Each structure stands twice: as structure tokens, then as C-alpha cells.
Amino acid sequence: MLFSDIEKEKLLSATISGPRNSASTDILKIAIRPVIIKGRFAYQVTEHYAQKAMHRNISAQDCVKYVQESLLKYKQGVFSTETTNYHALVGKDGEISMIKKQVKNTPSLIVHNREKNYLLQEGTPIPFLIHLGVMTKEGRIIPKKYDKFRQINRFLEMVSDVVEQIKKKTGVVNIIDFGCGKAYLTFALYHYLFTIEQMDVNIVGLDLKADVISDCQRLAETLGFKGLSFAVGEIKNYEEKKDVDLVICLHACNTATDAALDKAIKWNTKVILCVPCCQHELYSQVQNDDLSSLLRYGIFKERFAALVTDAARAELLTIAGYDVQVLEFIDMEHTPKNILIRAIKTASGKNQKQAQERYQAFKKALHINPSLEKSF
């Protein structure tokens, strides 16, 4: 039975869709998959809203209860387990009819060997991970680097979601990684796009630290990554003559993030992936008498100002003609800086007017003037 399979950690994947009505839930679709977190089994639940997707990990027992409760709010659910595929159809009266189909040739599942179904798999030696000290020559992840390995794969999952937007039938895909640091994710990006997706790419990693950039460039040459190069410089001073298809900006401090977004907007970049960090600009600006109970405490005000900054950025990107989503990058237990802004350029720009109205009201209510506004 389905619920027994879920509890026994045999579920491979699940999708629950078709909300009965907007009053019962604002979640459009639910996806579930097994994951291994620090050696422990869990199910990752992804709840898809209109403008965002939220992720959380729950136990097998909690997953059973979650699925049972969720099915009553939706019209159907599709589940894949080790031995059986289930299609649950939910009637208006809440009665669940289950269509079952046996699976003849079941692939080896991660729940058997406790390996997560990553884009980069443990057990297979990957040269750049070995050189960066994440993996041994035998393909095992070094224990203290497992969080980094997990972060790399989470990042690549997000890139995989936008691959179709940046692919070209002919020509090179141009990518800029602003504030690349030691470039774990930059090397991972090149490996994924060039080796796995077999795309012709030109990736530039930019950072202020000359010694770090020198090490990264040397490693790129050692690995034979001909489409990957590194440069020293400030984001605001960087110019790119080629069409840029993807701009990445992860943990660039304060208004350096805005400088990267400004470049991406002016280049008419197809896709932007941004994880902001160290946001101080609006801390001294944000003001609203009705929020005095919140703003009178420094730590509350700091966190609130960071959210205000990212909300303003999201609206300004929408005004610039992007379809914007705000996603979790990694779990809260690892870092509070876990918001990723994903922006995809659209042809219609249908939401620009509404975003402009929302932004002006938002700006007026909080007495803010974000740096990114200067781009318009």
C-alpha cells in the first residue's frame, strides 16, 4: 500500500496537483522526493506557489500524515515507489481511488544505499571536486566537506531549472559569476554545463582577491577547462562586450549585489541567479511609525531591512521585464543568508505596471531609496 511504502522509505517521487479551490490552499503543486541529510533519511517536500517554491525536510512518518492531509485538498497525486506506481484520484466527497501499476524493472534506488540522487554523484571521482578538497581520489566525499557538496548540488539543481532559457542552438553561452570567491560553484557550473549538458560555454569568474583568482585560474588550466577564466576587479567597473546569457551573484556584500543586478539589467541578460548578503544600505533608511515595535530592536530591524532590500530588488527586476521567483538556496541550519532571487527575462513584460505600482507604494510606506533604482 502507498502509505506503507512511504513510511518504509520506499517512495521515489511524488507529485500532488490540481488544487480544488483557492480557499483551501494557495499551493499550486507539491513535489516530494527522498534525501539524505548528514546520513539520515528524510523526504524533501517542495511546495510550489505562484511566485515562489518552499522546501522543507520531514520524516517518513510525518510524510505519511502530510500526504494524507494534502490529498484532500487536491484532485490527484502521482507516486512512484520501488515496486509500484500509484495514481490517486480524489473525488468531491474526499473518497480516494487508487490506480496501481507494478514496476517490472526497478532501478537501484537511493533509499537502499542511502545516497542522495544528486546531479554530481558520490562514488564517481570528479576531478574539480578532488582538486578543491571536497572529494577523495576514490570518489568519496570528505566528511567535513559534505555541506559544501550538498550546497554545490543544490545550486546545480537551480541551474538545471533554467538551462533551457540559456541554451543556444549555435554559438557560445556567455556567463559571468560576480564575486566568485574560491569558485567552488563556478567550477561546478562549468562541469555541469560543459560535461553533463554538453553546452559550449564561456564563463568568467570575477573577484577582488588577486591571490584567490590566481589560484582559480591555475586550477582551470590544470583541469583543461578552456571555457572558464578568472579576472580581478570590482563589479561596478566590469564591462562585457559579448551578449551575456546568465549572471550569477552569490553573497556579494551590500550594494555590490545591486551593482551586479544593474549590469545584468543593462546587458539584457536572459537569466539572473542572485543570493544577496550583508545588506546594510536600507538599515538606516527604513522607517514606519506603525512598525515601531519591530524597528526599535536592532536585530529585528536588521533582518527586516534585509527582507525589505530583497523585496525591492524583486520588484525592480519585475519592472525591468523579468519573471522573478524567490527561493530557498540551502537549509536555514547552515546560514541565514539563504534567499535566492531567480529572474528570467520575458518578452511580454505583462507584470511591469503592477510591479511599478506595488514598488512605489512599498517605497513610500518605508521611506526607502534603494541603489538599484538608479538603474532605471
pLDDT at residue 349, rounded to an integer: 67
Between these two residues, 232 and 154, which has the higher pLDDT value?
A: 232
Binning pLDDT at 50, 70 and 90, where does residue 147 land? confident
Residue 106 DSSP code: P
Residue closest to 133 by CA, chosen among 148, 119, 118: 148
For residues 133 and 182, state if they share a domain. Answer: yes
For residues 275 and 353, state if they share a domain. Answer: yes
* Distance between CA atoms of residues 137 and 17, nearest Å: 43
Binning pLDDT at 50, 70 and 90, where does residue 38 land? low
pLDDT per position as a tens digit, 47-59: 988 877 888 899 9
77, 112, 147: which is the final residue of a domain?
112
Binning pLDDT at 50, 70 and 90, where does residue 117 land? low
pLDDT at residue 54, rounded to an integer: 85
Binning pLDDT at 50, 70 and 90, where does residue 26 land? confident
84, 112, 140: which is the final residue of a domain?
112
For residues 108 and 152, state if they share a domain. Answer: no
Tell me, yes or no, whether 263 lies in a domain: yes
For residues 194 and 331, state if they share a domain. Answer: yes
> Lowest mean pLDDT: which of 20-24, 32-36, 115-119, 179-183?
115-119
CA angle 339, 343, 349 (to 5 degrees): 140
pLDDT at residue 9, rounded to an integer: 86
145 pLDDT above the threshold of 50: yes
111 pLDDT above the threshold of 50: no
pLDDT at residue 93, rounded to an integer: 77
Residue closest to 67 by CA, chosen among 28, 32, 111, 37: 32
Whether residue 206 contacts residue 230, with contact meaning beta carbons closer than 8 Å, is answered with yes
212 pLDDT above the threshold of 50: yes
pLDDT per position as a tens digit, 315-369: 999 999 999 999 887 643 444 557 899 999 987 767 788 999 999 999 999 999 9
Tell me, yes or no, whether 122 lies in a domain: no
For residues 285 and 171, state if they share a domain. Answer: yes
Tell me, yes or no, whether 119 lies in a domain: no
Global pTM value: 0.69
> How large is the average pLDDT for residues 41-51?
87
299 pLDDT above the threshold of 60: yes
For residues 311 and 256, state if they share a domain. Answer: yes
For residues 263 and 165, state if they share a domain. Answer: yes
Whether residue 355 contacts residue 315, with contact meaning beta carbons closer than 8 Å, is answered with yes
> Lowest mean pLDDT: which of 8-17, 84-93, 100-109, 153-162?
100-109
112, 135, 158: which is the final residue of a domain?
112
pLDDT at residue 339, rounded to an integer: 87
Residue closest to 216 by CA, chosen among 204, 202, 230: 230
Domain extent for 41: 2-112
Tell me, yes or no, whether 120 lies in a domain: no
Tell me, yes or no, whether 31 lies in a domain: yes
Whether residue 223 contacts residue 186, with contact meaning beta carbons closer than 8 Å, is answered with no
Distances (CA, A) of 223 to 141, 155, 184, 190, 202: 19, 21, 14, 11, 15
For residues 92 and 131, state if they share a domain. Answer: no
Tell me, yes or no, whether 121 lies in a domain: no
* Distance between CA atoms of residues 271 and 165, nearest Å: 7
Tell me, yes or no, whether 118 lies in a domain: no
Tell me, yes or no, whether 68 lies in a domain: yes
* Distance between CA atoms of residues 342 and 202, nearest Å: 21
Residue 120 DSSP code: S
* Distance between CA atoms of residues 236 and 255, nearest Å: 10
pLDDT per position as a tens digit, 131-144: 999 999 988 899 88
Taking residue 249's Cβ as centre, other Cβ atoms within 10 Å add up to 27
- Helices of type H across the chain: 2-7, 60-71, 110-113, 127-131, 146-160, 163-166, 184-190, 210-223, 256-266, 292-295, 298-319, 352-366
* Distance between CA atoms of residues 58 and 41, nearest Å: 9
Whether residue 270 contacts residue 168, with contact meaning beta carbons closer than 8 Å, is answered with no
Residue closest to 301 by CA, chosen among 234, 368, 255, 212: 368
Count of domains for the chain = 2
For residues 217 and 356, state if they share a domain. Answer: yes
For residues 322 and 181, state if they share a domain. Answer: yes
For residues 161 and 198, state if they share a domain. Answer: yes
For residues 273 and 196, state if they share a domain. Answer: yes
What CATH number corresponds to the domain at position 312?
Answer: 3.40.50.150
Helix/strand/coil percentages in the chain, nearest 5: 35, 30, 35
